[in-house]
Structure 1
Amino acid sequence: MVTGIVIPADESEVVYQSEFNDLRGYQQAVGGHIEAIDLDQPPVTLFANDEAKLLQLPVNRRATLLWWLTTPLFRHQDVICGNTVLVGQPNAEGETQNLAQDVRRLLLDRAVYRVEVQTGSDSWNGNQLRFEDYFEAAAWGLSLADRWTLVTGVRVVGA
């Protein structure tokens, strides 16, 4: 059994933790065959419906923001559609792993977030702005990166 987080495309629905026993569980959560999208930081995998765009499923703004945070190459180039499942990346045998507890806590247990950016160095810097929603913080951070060309990295952390 794998513990993950479901990110519904409908933003009126909450992001929630769920247990998955097998491939059918992931397929049921995303409404079809799955496609794996690996993210580097944090090391997680998003499962999405591999026909979501063909089926004209709605854009999943929250999953897209998470993807854009970790994979700048796709910012404003592509979006994720339909419901998604966030899990840990596969192990050496290719088996999907539980979502790391620190990622689960960040997305589900935090009440206040802040944004940190890198501007060419390895150090992360932030300001005093606070957000009550992880994904709103992500949207603000990505907007800042669009406006401030010195930004080379964006992340959302607990405040």
Structure 2
Amino acid sequence: MVQGIIIPADDKAPLRAATFEKPEDFDRAVDEWAEAVHIPHVGVRMHLNLEGSNRQLSYNRRATFLWWFYIPGVRGEARLLGDIVLVGLAHNEEESADLTIEIRRQLLEPGVYRVRSRERGGGRWHEEPIDRDDYLETVIWATLLMEMSSALEVQIACIGYGGGARKP
């Protein structure tokens, strides 16, 4: 049994926690033919519909930008289509695991996030003046900043969860 999150292609639909009892459950959640895309340094894998383009599934903006943020080499080269299942990546990378508590919290609970940037190679981090209350919307803005200037390093800081702030 694996605990994960479904990222719907419909931007208006909320992300939802899901339990997957067996590998076939991934296929069912993405409307058959699941293929895995790994984001190893974050420890997650995305299950997506391999036939998304042929079946004319909708563009999944939130999942695509999450992928592009952490794997810049695919930015602009490919888009993820249809609903996406996000689960943890097991140590052997062939199996799925539960998402970490931190990732589940970022994606499912209300929080306050801020984008920080600096020139590559060091220097002081500069904080964007706008706080965002959605982690994926913050990821989208951070990815757009990286796309605008390859000279920037970009990170996302959590300013707080729920009503209580915490230091980044």
Task: Say yes or no: TM over 0.5.
Answer: yes
Specify the alignment match of 1:146 in structure 2.
147
The amino acid across from 1:129 in the alignment is I
Using the TM superposition, name which of 88-97 and 133-142 deviates more.
88-97
Asked if 2 retains the 8 angstrom alpha-carbon contact of 1:111 and 1:133, the reply is yes
CA distance in 2, matches of 1:5, 1:135: 13
Tell me, yes or no, if the aligned pair for 1:40 and 1:70 is still in contact at 8 Å: no
Aligned partners of 2:76, 2:90: CA distance in 1, in Å? 27
1:28 is matched with 28
Give the CA RMSD over aligned residues.
Answer: 1.9
TM-superposed CA distance for 1:91, in Å, is 2.7
Classify the secondary structure of the residue corresponding to 1:65. Answer: helix
Structure 2 residue aligned with 1:132: 133
> Is the CA contact (8 Å cut-off) linking 2:66 and 2:140 kept in structure 1?
no
Question: What's the CA shift for 1:148?
Answer: 2.5
What CA distance in whole angstroms lies between the structure 2 residues aligned with 1:93 and 1:137? 27
Alpha-carbon separation, structure 2, partners of 1:75 and 1:124: 26
Contact residue 57 and residue 82 of structure 2 kept, 8 A: yes
Decide which structure has the larger Cα Rg and report it: 2
Q: Are 2:12 and 1:12 equivalent residues in the alignment?
A: yes
Preserved CA contact (<8 Å) 2:7 2:16: yes
Structure 2 CA distance for partners of 1:4 and 1:148, relative to 1, 3 Å: same
Please give the secondary structure, in 1, of the residue aligned with 2:102. Answer: helix
Match of 2:164 in 1: none
What's the counterpart of residue 51 of structure 2?
Answer: 51
Match of 1:83 in 2: 83
**Does the residue aligned with 1:112 lie in a helix, a strand or coil?**
strand
Any conservation in 1 of the 2:113–2:134 contact (CA below 8 Å)? yes
4+ long deviations beyond 4 Å: none
Count, aligned residues:
158
Contact 1:116–1:124 (CA<8 Å) still a contact in 2? no
More strand by share: 2
Any stretches of 5+ residues in structure 1 without a counterpart? none
Structure-1-length-normalised TM-score: 0.90
TM-score by length of 2: 0.85
Give the letter for the 1:78 counterpart.
A
SS at match of 1:142: helix
Q: CA deviation at 1:132?
A: 1.6
> CA-to-partner distance for each residue in 1:69-97, whole Å, 9 max, x for gaps?
00111111110000001011123383311
Percent identical pairs in the alignment equals 32
Q: Distance in 2 between matches of 1:124 and 1:66?
A: 25
Partner of 2:143: helix, strand, or coil?
Answer: helix
Distance of 2:56 and 2:124 partners within structure 1: 38
Amino acid at match of 1:140: W
Conserved in 1, the CA contact under 8 Å of 2:33 and 2:49?
yes
Separation in 2, partners of 1:32, 1:66: 22
